[in-house]
Structure 1
Amino acid sequence: MYKILIVDDEPNILLSLEYLFKKEGFKVFIARDGEEALGIISEDEPELVLLDIMMPKVDGYEVCKHIKDQHKNIKVVFLTAKSKQQDVEKGLNLGADLYLTKPFGNKDLVTRVKNLLN
């Protein structure tokens, strides 16, 4: 069973993604900001992190940088409203494995996450 961490400050997105991935058989952790995410990553080391960019305390770019510096085996998928080319490039340059913009399709997201993990 893969462990996945969902990081977003929007409660509705957290709830729907948590439900979606639990239904698909994942062990799901959730964090409401980047600081909380860093704690979960160091304790539970998930295989994949779904990561928003715009969050309180520590933003998604900083979380991604930390993951790629300290936990190179963890996959990072940005799931964000930031859709400008410069945002996409910044995310990928920091080491993100995938950059998806909101809104997204649930089936597509699950398929892409499974492909990254297999």
Structure 2
Amino acid sequence: MKSKILVVDDDPSMLILIEYNLRLAGYEVLCVSDGESVFEVLTKFRPDAIVLDRMLPQTNGLDVCRRLRTQHNMVPIIMLTAMHEVSERIVGLDNGADDYMTKPFSPQELISRIRSLMRRVQTLPSDAEGTIYEIGGLTVIEKQREVLLNGRSIDLTPKEFELLVFLCRHRGKVLSRQQLLHGVWDYHFLGDTRIVDVHISHLRDKLEKNARSPEFIVTIRNVGYKLADTVKQCLAASTIYPQQA
């Protein structure tokens, strides 16, 4: 079955370009030209990923992204923007996008990023099928893509979840921003590592009681981040959650 991509852009030529290349790459594609149409087609089309332009008539891309996340829809989103300032692109990440690309861009790079994003959402390494990570009141269950904090379910975007899992797999080890970019995003952002800081900030907002004194994600000044090394890894999920065996 073909993966489904929803493309949202009010530029007809851009829609034609993206649709042509995505179909050529084997995807099923639906194109819409405004933000409100996204919510009209979501239930019926059920996209595996969304390519979303930031500047749209009526409901802009930021509003669309924010509404999707508020509705607990965690479909992977790649945001397109004509704004080259890093601060402007980070606004998209702040509103729930998993990745961003600046126009003009290569269709081949867009396809590569879609594949990378979807691959990490849809697959797990064979040795992680039953892996559960625990630290304090935080529980990360890879197979179910579930995060619990003191027994309460926490909604994370796909990239936030992948970043947290990557930190769990390397618990206690200091990871540079470049290592996190390469390990979680599969490519380098031409030296722009602030995408990591944005996602770390989002994780802390959702997981930490006090961001200034983090319990889980520790900042190593001038280096990067690490997950506190008191994480307990349990390879057999059934030993903790028998009902999931």
Secondary structure, counterpart of 1:49 in structure 2: strand
Quick one: distance in 2 between partners of 1:70 and 1:4? 19
The answer for the alignment partner of 1:46 in structure 2 is: 47
Deviations 1:62-91 (A, max 9, x none): 111122222533000001202222221211
Is the contact made by 1:45 and 1:74 (CA closer than 8 Å) also made in structure 2?
Answer: no
The answer for the alignment partner of 1:9 in structure 2 is: 10
Secondary structure, counterpart of 2:90 in structure 1: helix
Quick one: distance in 2 between partners of 1:20 and 1:100? 16
Secondary structure, counterpart of 1:41 in structure 2: helix
Is the contact made by 1:81 and 1:102 (CA closer than 8 Å) also made in structure 2?
Answer: yes
Deviations 1:44-67 (A, max 9, x none): 220111010111111000111122
Aligned length: 118
The answer for the alignment partner of 2:89 in structure 1 is: 88
Larger radius of gyration: 2
Calculate the TM-score normalised by the size of structure 2.
0.46
| 1:22-37 superposed matches below 5 A | 22-37=23-38
Q: RMSD between aligned alpha carbons?
A: 1.2
Structure 1 stretches lacking a partner, 5+ long: none
Runs of 4+ in 1 over 6 A off after TM superposition: none
Is the contact made by 1:47 and 1:73 (CA closer than 8 Å) also made in structure 2?
Answer: no
Q: Percent identity over the alignment?
A: 35
Structure 2 stretches lacking a partner, 5+ long: 120-245
Secondary structure, counterpart of 1:74 in structure 2: coil
| 1:65-104 superposed matches below 5 A | 65-104=66-105
Structure 2 letter corresponding to 1:7: V
Q: Residue 11 and residue 68 in structure 1: after superposition, are their counterparts in 2 closer, same or farther (change >3 A)?
A: same
